Amino acid sequence: MIRVQREDFDPGQEIAALTRGRTDIGGVTSFIGLVRDMAGGDKIMSMTLEHYPGMTEQQLKAIEAEAKQRWPLDAVLIVHRYGELKPGDRIVLVVTASSHRDAAFDACRFLIDWLKTKAPFWKLEETSAGPRWVEAKDSDDQAAERWTKS
Amino acid sequence: MIRVQREDFDPGQEIAALTRGRTDIGGVTSFIGLVRDMAGGDKIMSMTLEHYPGMTEQQLKAIEAEAKQRWPLDAVLIVHRYGELKPGDRIVLVVTASSHRDAAFDACRFLIDWLKTKAPFWKLEETSAGPRWVEAKDSDDQAAERWTKS
Amino acid sequence: MKLLYFAWLRQKIGTAEETLDPPGSIATVAQLIDWLKTRGPNYVEALTNTKLVRVAVNREYVPYDHRLKPGDEVGLFPPVTGG
Amino acid sequence: MKLLYFAWLRQKIGTAEETLDPPGSIATVAQLIDWLKTRGPNYVEALTNTKLVRVAVNREYVPYDHRLKPGDEVGLFPPVTGG
Protein backbone atom coordinates (compact mmCIF):
# COMPACT_ATOMS: atom_id res chain seq x y z
CA MET A 1 0.00 0.00 0.00
CA ILE A 2 1.26 3.48 -0.82
CA ARG A 3 0.05 6.93 0.16
CA VAL A 4 1.18 10.43 -0.82
CA GLN A 5 -0.21 13.08 1.48
CA ARG A 6 0.25 16.52 2.94
CA GLU A 7 -0.81 15.45 6.46
CA ASP A 8 1.43 13.93 9.12
CA PHE A 9 1.14 10.22 9.91
CA ASP A 10 1.33 8.23 13.14
CA PRO A 11 3.96 5.49 12.69
CA GLY A 12 2.57 3.40 15.56
CA GLN A 13 -0.96 3.46 14.17
CA GLU A 14 0.26 2.73 10.66
CA ILE A 15 2.31 -0.26 11.81
CA ALA A 16 -0.53 -1.51 14.02
CA ALA A 17 -3.03 -1.21 11.16
CA LEU A 18 -0.73 -3.17 8.89
CA THR A 19 -0.43 -6.10 11.30
CA ARG A 20 -3.87 -5.97 12.98
CA GLY A 21 -5.61 -9.30 13.03
CA ARG A 22 -2.56 -10.98 11.48
CA THR A 23 -0.87 -13.76 13.42
CA ASP A 24 1.37 -15.02 10.63
CA ILE A 25 3.84 -12.11 10.63
CA GLY A 26 7.12 -12.73 12.40
CA GLY A 27 8.86 -9.42 11.94
CA VAL A 28 8.10 -5.84 10.97
CA THR A 29 10.84 -3.46 9.90
CA SER A 30 10.17 0.23 9.50
CA PHE A 31 12.07 3.32 8.50
CA ILE A 32 11.02 6.87 9.29
CA GLY A 33 12.75 9.78 7.57
CA LEU A 34 12.74 13.10 9.45
CA VAL A 35 13.60 16.68 8.54
CA ARG A 36 16.99 17.61 10.00
CA ASP A 37 17.78 21.04 11.40
CA MET A 38 21.16 21.40 9.69
CA ALA A 39 22.45 20.82 6.16
CA GLY A 40 25.90 21.63 4.82
CA GLY A 41 26.68 23.75 7.87
CA ASP A 42 23.53 25.90 7.52
CA LYS A 43 20.52 25.97 9.78
CA ILE A 44 17.31 24.72 8.18
CA MET A 45 14.20 26.74 8.99
CA SER A 46 11.81 24.72 6.86
CA MET A 47 11.68 22.33 3.93
CA THR A 48 9.08 22.24 1.19
CA LEU A 49 8.56 19.02 -0.70
CA GLU A 50 7.29 19.36 -4.25
CA HIS A 51 6.17 16.30 -6.18
CA TYR A 52 4.70 15.20 -9.49
CA PRO A 53 1.13 14.18 -8.66
CA GLY A 54 0.16 11.02 -10.45
CA MET A 55 3.69 10.05 -11.36
CA THR A 56 4.66 9.81 -7.70
CA GLU A 57 1.92 7.30 -6.95
CA GLN A 58 2.76 5.35 -10.11
CA GLN A 59 6.45 5.15 -9.23
CA LEU A 60 5.82 4.19 -5.61
CA LYS A 61 3.43 1.43 -6.70
CA ALA A 62 6.06 0.11 -9.10
CA ILE A 63 8.71 0.13 -6.37
CA GLU A 64 6.32 -1.65 -3.99
CA ALA A 65 5.54 -4.28 -6.64
CA GLU A 66 9.26 -4.81 -7.25
CA ALA A 67 9.89 -5.38 -3.52
CA LYS A 68 7.01 -7.85 -3.27
CA GLN A 69 8.40 -9.73 -6.21
CA ARG A 70 11.91 -9.90 -4.74
CA TRP A 71 11.11 -10.82 -1.15
CA PRO A 72 8.47 -12.92 0.64
CA LEU A 73 6.55 -10.03 2.20
CA ASP A 74 3.26 -10.21 4.06
CA ALA A 75 2.64 -6.46 3.89
CA VAL A 76 4.24 -3.27 2.63
CA LEU A 77 3.40 0.34 3.40
CA ILE A 78 4.95 3.51 2.00
CA VAL A 79 3.68 6.90 3.17
CA HIS A 80 5.39 9.99 1.75
CA ARG A 81 4.47 13.57 2.61
CA TYR A 82 4.68 16.73 0.52
CA GLY A 83 4.25 20.41 1.35
CA GLU A 84 6.02 22.52 3.96
CA LEU A 85 7.73 20.71 6.83
CA LYS A 86 9.76 21.83 9.85
CA PRO A 87 12.89 20.27 11.39
CA GLY A 88 11.89 17.17 13.33
CA ASP A 89 8.81 16.58 11.15
CA ARG A 90 8.26 13.18 9.58
CA ILE A 91 8.78 12.97 5.80
CA VAL A 92 8.46 9.32 4.92
CA LEU A 93 7.50 5.98 6.43
CA VAL A 94 8.38 2.60 4.98
CA VAL A 95 7.10 -0.55 6.67
CA THR A 96 7.71 -4.15 5.60
CA ALA A 97 6.32 -7.24 7.26
CA SER A 98 7.53 -10.76 6.71
CA SER A 99 7.88 -14.07 8.47
CA HIS A 100 11.61 -13.73 7.72
CA ARG A 101 13.40 -10.85 9.37
CA ASP A 102 16.15 -10.70 6.73
CA ALA A 103 13.48 -10.22 4.07
CA ALA A 104 11.79 -7.50 6.11
CA PHE A 105 15.10 -5.65 6.59
CA ASP A 106 16.31 -6.01 3.00
CA ALA A 107 12.99 -4.99 1.50
CA CYS A 108 12.65 -1.95 3.77
CA ARG A 109 16.11 -0.74 2.86
CA PHE A 110 15.54 -1.42 -0.83
CA LEU A 111 12.32 0.60 -0.72
CA ILE A 112 13.88 3.64 0.92
CA ASP A 113 16.96 3.47 -1.34
CA TRP A 114 14.85 3.20 -4.46
CA LEU A 115 12.30 5.82 -3.60
CA LYS A 116 15.12 8.25 -2.93
CA THR A 117 16.34 7.86 -6.51
CA LYS A 118 13.05 7.17 -8.35
CA ALA A 119 10.12 8.86 -6.63
CA PRO A 120 9.60 12.34 -8.15
CA PHE A 121 9.99 14.53 -5.08
CA TRP A 122 12.16 17.64 -4.75
CA LYS A 123 13.19 19.35 -1.54
CA LEU A 124 13.45 23.12 -1.25
CA GLU A 125 15.23 24.12 1.95
CA GLU A 126 14.78 27.50 3.62
CA THR A 127 18.18 27.92 5.27
CA SER A 128 20.01 30.61 7.20
CA ALA A 129 21.92 31.17 3.92
CA GLY A 130 18.72 31.52 1.88
CA PRO A 131 16.49 29.12 -0.03
CA ARG A 132 18.03 26.29 -2.04
CA TRP A 133 17.04 23.12 -3.81
CA VAL A 134 18.57 20.01 -2.29
CA GLU A 135 20.93 18.34 -4.73
CA ALA A 136 20.73 14.64 -5.43
CA LYS A 137 23.45 12.72 -3.62
CA ASP A 138 25.86 10.34 -5.30
CA SER A 139 25.65 8.23 -2.16
CA ASP A 140 21.92 7.77 -2.76
CA ASP A 141 22.58 6.63 -6.31
CA GLN A 142 25.17 4.19 -5.01
CA ALA A 143 22.76 2.95 -2.33
CA ALA A 144 20.14 2.27 -5.00
CA GLU A 145 22.75 0.75 -7.29
CA ARG A 146 23.57 -2.06 -4.87
CA TRP A 147 20.12 -3.56 -5.45
CA THR A 148 20.75 -4.00 -9.16
CA LYS A 149 23.75 -6.29 -8.73
CA SER A 150 22.08 -9.48 -7.60
CA MET B 1 18.14 2.48 26.55
CA ILE B 2 16.99 -1.05 27.29
CA ARG B 3 13.92 -2.43 29.04
CA VAL B 4 12.87 -5.95 29.96
CA GLN B 5 9.21 -6.15 30.89
CA ARG B 6 6.12 -8.33 31.06
CA GLU B 7 3.80 -5.61 29.71
CA ASP B 8 3.13 -4.83 26.08
CA PHE B 9 4.66 -1.73 24.50
CA ASP B 10 3.36 0.79 21.97
CA PRO B 11 5.89 1.03 19.13
CA GLY B 12 4.61 4.42 17.96
CA GLN B 13 4.89 5.94 21.43
CA GLU B 14 8.31 4.41 21.97
CA ILE B 15 9.63 5.77 18.68
CA ALA B 16 8.04 9.17 19.29
CA ALA B 17 9.53 9.37 22.79
CA LEU B 18 12.97 8.55 21.42
CA THR B 19 12.88 11.36 18.85
CA ARG B 20 10.74 13.93 20.71
CA GLY B 21 12.29 17.38 20.76
CA ARG B 22 15.15 16.18 18.58
CA THR B 23 15.66 17.88 15.22
CA ASP B 24 19.06 16.39 14.42
CA ILE B 25 17.89 12.85 13.62
CA GLY B 26 17.58 12.03 9.94
CA GLY B 27 16.37 8.45 10.10
CA VAL B 28 14.84 5.98 12.51
CA THR B 29 14.85 2.27 11.82
CA SER B 30 12.83 -0.11 13.94
CA PHE B 31 12.18 -3.82 14.13
CA ILE B 32 9.24 -5.43 15.89
CA GLY B 33 9.24 -9.16 16.50
CA LEU B 34 5.82 -10.81 16.81
CA VAL B 35 4.58 -14.23 17.96
CA ARG B 36 3.62 -16.32 14.94
CA ASP B 37 0.67 -18.71 14.90
CA MET B 38 2.54 -21.59 13.28
CA ALA B 39 5.87 -23.29 13.84
CA GLY B 40 7.19 -26.42 12.14
CA GLY B 41 3.73 -27.23 10.79
CA ASP B 42 2.06 -27.04 14.22
CA LYS B 43 -0.38 -24.45 15.44
CA ILE B 44 0.89 -22.27 18.29
CA MET B 45 -1.61 -21.59 21.05
CA SER B 46 0.74 -19.54 23.22
CA MET B 47 4.40 -18.86 23.88
CA THR B 48 6.02 -18.30 27.25
CA LEU B 49 9.28 -16.41 27.39
CA GLU B 50 11.54 -17.23 30.30
CA HIS B 51 14.60 -15.12 31.00
CA TYR B 52 17.51 -14.74 33.40
CA PRO B 53 16.71 -11.56 35.36
CA GLY B 54 19.77 -9.42 35.83
CA MET B 55 21.82 -11.17 33.19
CA THR B 56 19.32 -10.19 30.49
CA GLU B 57 19.63 -6.50 31.28
CA GLN B 58 23.42 -6.80 31.50
CA GLN B 59 23.66 -8.51 28.10
CA LEU B 60 21.27 -6.08 26.42
CA LYS B 61 23.23 -3.13 27.78
CA ALA B 62 26.46 -4.64 26.46
CA ILE B 63 24.90 -5.19 23.02
CA GLU B 64 23.58 -1.61 23.00
CA ALA B 65 27.03 -0.27 23.95
CA GLU B 66 28.62 -2.32 21.17
CA ALA B 67 26.21 -0.88 18.58
CA LYS B 68 26.84 2.68 19.76
CA GLN B 69 30.54 2.11 19.46
CA ARG B 70 30.28 0.70 15.93
CA TRP B 71 27.82 3.18 14.40
CA PRO B 72 27.13 6.92 14.75
CA LEU B 73 23.80 6.58 16.55
CA ASP B 74 21.73 9.36 18.09
CA ALA B 75 19.51 6.99 20.06
CA VAL B 76 18.95 3.29 20.69
CA LEU B 77 16.04 1.50 22.32
CA ILE B 78 15.59 -2.19 23.00
CA VAL B 79 12.39 -3.40 24.68
CA HIS B 80 12.03 -7.16 25.24
CA ARG B 81 9.05 -8.85 26.85
CA TYR B 82 8.85 -12.01 28.93
CA GLY B 83 5.94 -14.08 30.23
CA GLU B 84 3.04 -15.64 28.35
CA LEU B 85 2.24 -14.27 24.89
CA LYS B 86 -0.32 -15.13 22.22
CA PRO B 87 0.07 -15.27 18.43
CA GLY B 88 0.20 -11.74 17.04
CA ASP B 89 1.58 -10.33 20.33
CA ARG B 90 4.69 -8.17 20.24
CA ILE B 91 7.85 -9.77 21.67
CA VAL B 92 10.64 -7.31 21.00
CA LEU B 93 11.22 -3.79 19.73
CA VAL B 94 14.56 -2.46 18.50
CA VAL B 95 14.83 1.20 17.45
CA THR B 96 17.92 2.99 16.16
CA ALA B 97 18.16 6.65 15.22
CA SER B 98 20.95 8.24 13.23
CA SER B 99 21.59 11.05 10.81
CA HIS B 100 22.80 8.32 8.42
CA ARG B 101 20.20 5.82 7.29
CA ASP B 102 22.74 3.09 6.55
CA ALA B 103 23.94 3.32 10.16
CA ALA B 104 20.39 3.15 11.46
CA PHE B 105 19.64 0.06 9.35
CA ASP B 106 22.89 -1.75 10.08
CA ALA B 107 22.74 -1.09 13.81
CA CYS B 108 19.11 -2.20 14.07
CA ARG B 109 19.85 -5.44 12.29
CA PHE B 110 22.98 -6.01 14.35
CA LEU B 111 21.01 -5.52 17.56
CA ILE B 112 18.27 -7.98 16.67
CA ASP B 113 20.80 -10.53 15.35
CA TRP B 114 22.92 -10.27 18.47
CA LEU B 115 20.15 -10.31 21.00
CA LYS B 116 18.80 -13.46 19.38
CA THR B 117 22.07 -15.25 20.10
CA LYS B 118 23.19 -13.51 23.31
CA ALA B 119 20.21 -12.34 25.37
CA PRO B 120 19.23 -15.08 27.85
CA PHE B 121 15.62 -15.71 26.82
CA TRP B 122 14.01 -19.07 26.14
CA LYS B 123 10.73 -19.70 24.37
CA LEU B 124 8.33 -22.43 25.41
CA GLU B 125 5.62 -22.98 22.81
CA GLU B 126 2.24 -24.49 23.58
CA THR B 127 1.44 -26.17 20.28
CA SER B 128 -1.26 -28.42 18.87
CA ALA B 129 1.36 -31.20 19.26
CA GLY B 130 2.06 -30.34 22.92
CA PRO B 131 4.49 -28.03 24.70
CA ARG B 132 8.05 -27.70 23.45
CA TRP B 133 11.09 -25.51 23.92
CA VAL B 134 12.08 -23.62 20.81
CA GLU B 135 15.49 -24.78 19.57
CA ALA B 136 18.18 -22.27 18.69
CA LYS B 137 18.51 -21.84 14.96
CA ASP B 138 21.75 -22.20 13.03
CA SER B 139 20.48 -19.39 10.80
CA ASP B 140 20.42 -17.08 13.83
CA ASP B 141 24.01 -18.01 14.68
CA GLN B 142 25.00 -17.30 11.09
CA ALA B 143 23.14 -13.99 11.14
CA ALA B 144 25.04 -12.96 14.26
CA GLU B 145 28.28 -14.29 12.83
CA ARG B 146 28.24 -11.85 9.91
CA TRP B 147 28.84 -8.97 12.32
CA THR B 148 32.12 -10.44 13.55
CA LYS B 149 33.81 -10.39 10.15
CA SER B 150 34.42 -6.67 9.68
CA MET C 1 1.58 18.06 -26.04
CA LYS C 2 1.38 18.77 -22.31
CA LEU C 3 4.63 19.80 -20.66
CA LEU C 4 5.16 19.82 -16.89
CA TYR C 5 8.16 21.40 -15.15
CA PHE C 6 9.23 20.81 -11.55
CA ALA C 7 11.52 22.24 -8.87
CA TRP C 8 14.19 24.65 -10.18
CA LEU C 9 13.34 23.79 -13.79
CA ARG C 10 9.85 25.15 -13.11
CA GLN C 11 11.33 28.24 -11.45
CA LYS C 12 13.77 28.95 -14.28
CA ILE C 13 11.24 28.40 -17.05
CA GLY C 14 8.70 30.42 -15.10
CA THR C 15 5.73 28.12 -15.47
CA ALA C 16 4.65 24.78 -14.03
CA GLU C 17 2.70 23.57 -17.02
CA GLU C 18 2.04 24.48 -20.64
CA THR C 19 0.50 22.92 -23.71
CA LEU C 20 2.67 23.23 -26.79
CA ASP C 21 2.48 21.98 -30.34
CA PRO C 22 6.06 21.23 -31.47
CA PRO C 23 6.69 20.99 -35.23
CA GLY C 24 6.34 17.58 -36.81
CA SER C 25 10.12 17.26 -37.17
CA ILE C 26 10.45 16.87 -33.37
CA ALA C 27 10.45 13.09 -32.89
CA THR C 28 12.47 12.40 -29.75
CA VAL C 29 12.88 13.76 -26.22
CA ALA C 30 16.33 15.13 -27.16
CA GLN C 31 14.84 17.00 -30.12
CA LEU C 32 12.03 18.36 -27.95
CA ILE C 33 14.54 19.76 -25.46
CA ASP C 34 16.58 21.38 -28.23
CA TRP C 35 13.41 22.90 -29.67
CA LEU C 36 12.33 24.21 -26.24
CA LYS C 37 15.67 26.00 -25.94
CA THR C 38 14.77 28.05 -29.04
CA ARG C 39 11.78 29.47 -27.14
CA GLY C 40 13.76 31.84 -24.91
CA PRO C 41 16.67 32.38 -22.53
CA ASN C 42 14.62 31.00 -19.60
CA TYR C 43 14.43 27.64 -21.38
CA VAL C 44 18.11 27.79 -22.25
CA GLU C 45 19.02 28.40 -18.63
CA ALA C 46 16.80 25.57 -17.40
CA LEU C 47 17.71 22.96 -20.00
CA THR C 48 21.34 23.53 -21.01
CA ASN C 49 22.91 21.09 -18.56
CA THR C 50 21.07 17.96 -19.62
CA LYS C 51 22.92 15.93 -16.97
CA LEU C 52 20.52 17.62 -14.56
CA VAL C 53 17.37 17.15 -16.63
CA ARG C 54 15.32 13.99 -16.11
CA VAL C 55 12.43 13.18 -18.39
CA ALA C 56 9.20 11.28 -17.84
CA VAL C 57 6.71 10.57 -20.60
CA ASN C 58 3.24 9.66 -19.41
CA ARG C 59 4.70 9.45 -15.90
CA GLU C 60 7.39 6.88 -16.70
CA TYR C 61 11.11 7.67 -16.89
CA VAL C 62 12.40 7.61 -20.46
CA PRO C 63 15.82 8.05 -22.08
CA TYR C 64 16.55 11.00 -24.36
CA ASP C 65 16.12 8.92 -27.50
CA HIS C 66 12.55 8.01 -26.53
CA ARG C 67 10.14 8.73 -29.40
CA LEU C 68 7.25 11.05 -28.62
CA LYS C 69 3.64 10.59 -29.65
CA PRO C 70 0.95 13.24 -30.03
CA GLY C 71 -0.91 13.79 -26.76
CA ASP C 72 2.05 12.66 -24.59
CA GLU C 73 2.42 14.18 -21.13
CA VAL C 74 6.11 15.14 -20.79
CA GLY C 75 7.59 15.94 -17.37
CA LEU C 76 10.97 17.66 -17.14
CA PHE C 77 12.69 17.90 -13.77
CA PRO C 78 16.00 17.73 -11.90
CA PRO C 79 17.27 14.54 -10.24
CA VAL C 80 14.82 13.61 -7.50
CA THR C 81 15.53 14.19 -3.79
CA GLY C 82 12.67 12.55 -1.90
CA GLY C 83 12.80 10.09 0.96
CA MET D 1 27.98 -21.21 45.26
CA LYS D 2 24.63 -20.20 43.81
CA LEU D 3 23.41 -22.21 40.84
CA LEU D 4 20.59 -21.12 38.52
CA TYR D 5 18.96 -23.33 35.89
CA PHE D 6 16.77 -22.18 33.03
CA ALA D 7 14.34 -23.55 30.45
CA TRP D 8 14.51 -27.33 29.93
CA LEU D 9 17.62 -27.60 32.12
CA ARG D 10 15.54 -26.25 34.98
CA GLN D 11 12.74 -28.69 34.15
CA LYS D 12 15.04 -31.70 33.93
CA ILE D 13 16.97 -30.88 37.10
CA GLY D 14 13.70 -30.07 38.85
CA THR D 15 14.71 -26.81 40.49
CA ALA D 16 15.34 -23.26 39.35
CA GLU D 17 17.93 -22.38 41.93
CA GLU D 18 20.05 -24.00 44.59
CA THR D 19 23.04 -23.15 46.75
CA LEU D 20 25.72 -25.83 46.72
CA ASP D 21 29.16 -26.19 48.19
CA PRO D 22 31.27 -28.19 45.71
CA PRO D 23 34.47 -29.86 47.03
CA GLY D 24 37.66 -27.80 46.82
CA SER D 25 38.92 -29.94 43.95
CA ILE D 26 36.28 -28.40 41.65
CA ALA D 27 38.16 -25.52 39.96
CA THR D 28 36.55 -25.04 36.56
CA VAL D 29 33.12 -24.93 34.99
CA ALA D 30 33.77 -28.28 33.28
CA GLN D 31 34.63 -29.86 36.63
CA LEU D 32 31.53 -28.34 38.23
CA ILE D 33 29.32 -29.87 35.53
CA ASP D 34 30.95 -33.29 35.97
CA TRP D 35 30.47 -33.04 39.72
CA LEU D 36 26.81 -32.02 39.32
CA LYS D 37 26.23 -35.17 37.26
CA THR D 38 27.21 -37.27 40.29
CA ARG D 39 24.27 -35.80 42.17
CA GLY D 40 21.59 -37.84 40.42
CA PRO D 41 20.03 -39.02 37.16
CA ASN D 42 18.14 -35.73 36.76
CA TYR D 43 21.47 -33.89 36.54
CA VAL D 44 22.86 -36.51 34.17
CA GLU D 45 19.87 -36.09 31.86
CA ALA D 46 20.12 -32.30 31.90
CA LEU D 47 23.88 -31.96 31.52
CA THR D 48 25.12 -34.89 29.42
CA ASN D 49 25.00 -33.15 26.03
CA THR D 50 27.28 -30.23 26.84
CA LYS D 51 26.84 -28.88 23.30
CA LEU D 52 23.45 -27.74 24.58
CA VAL D 53 24.65 -26.32 27.91
CA ARG D 54 25.67 -22.66 28.04
CA VAL D 55 27.31 -21.25 31.15
CA ALA D 56 27.29 -17.78 32.66
CA VAL D 57 29.31 -16.85 35.73
CA ASN D 58 28.16 -13.70 37.46
CA ARG D 59 25.89 -13.07 34.46
CA GLU D 60 28.61 -13.14 31.83
CA TYR D 61 29.11 -15.96 29.33
CA VAL D 62 32.18 -18.06 30.12
CA PRO D 63 33.94 -21.01 28.44
CA TYR D 64 34.10 -24.42 30.11
CA ASP D 65 37.69 -23.87 31.27
CA HIS D 66 36.69 -20.75 33.20
CA ARG D 67 37.97 -20.92 36.81
CA LEU D 68 35.36 -20.57 39.52
CA LYS D 69 35.65 -18.49 42.67
CA PRO D 70 33.77 -18.92 45.96
CA GLY D 71 30.52 -16.94 45.91
CA ASP D 72 30.16 -17.09 42.13
CA GLU D 73 26.66 -17.09 40.66
CA VAL D 74 26.61 -19.83 38.03
CA GLY D 75 23.81 -19.98 35.44
CA LEU D 76 23.35 -23.11 33.32
CA PHE D 77 20.96 -23.00 30.37
CA PRO D 78 20.32 -24.13 26.79
CA PRO D 79 21.20 -21.98 23.77
CA VAL D 80 19.09 -18.85 23.96
CA THR D 81 16.05 -18.27 21.75
CA GLY D 82 14.93 -14.70 22.38
CA GLY D 83 14.20 -11.91 19.95
Looking at residue A143, its pLDDT comes to 85
Nearest to A15 among B32, B108, B143 (CB): B32
| B69–chain D nearest CA distance, Å | 20
**Which letter does DSSP use for residue C46 in this model?**
H
Per-residue model confidence as pLDDT tens digits over D15-45: 999 999 999 999 999 999 999 999 999 999 9
Mean pLDDT by 10 residues, chain B (150 residues): 97 93 94 94 96 98 97 97 97 96 96 96 96 91 79
Per-residue model confidence as pLDDT tens digits over D56-65: 999 999 999 9
Name the B residues in 87-146 with CB < 8 Å from any A CB: 87-88, 99, 101-102, 104-105, 108-109, 112, 143
A 10 A CB-CB count for A128 gives: 10
Per-residue model confidence as pLDDT tens digits over A97-122: 999 899 999 999 999 999 999 999 99
**What are phi and psi for residue B125, nearest 5 degrees?**
-95, 135
Note the pTM of the prediction, 2 decimals.
0.94
Looking at residue A149, its pLDDT comes to 64
A45, C31, D69, D71 from C25: Cα distances, Å: 47, 8, 91, 92
Size of interface A-B (CB pairs under 8 A): 102
Give the SS3 label for residue C14: coil
Chain A environment of C79 (Cβ under 8 Å): 135-136
ipTM for the predicted complex comes to 0.92
B143/A36 touch (CB, cutoff 8 Å), yes or no: no
A101/B108 touch (CB, cutoff 8 Å), yes or no: no
Per-residue model confidence as pLDDT tens digits over A18-73: 999 899 999 999 999 999 999 888 999 999 999 999 999 999 999 999 999 999 99
Give the SS3 label for residue A8: coil
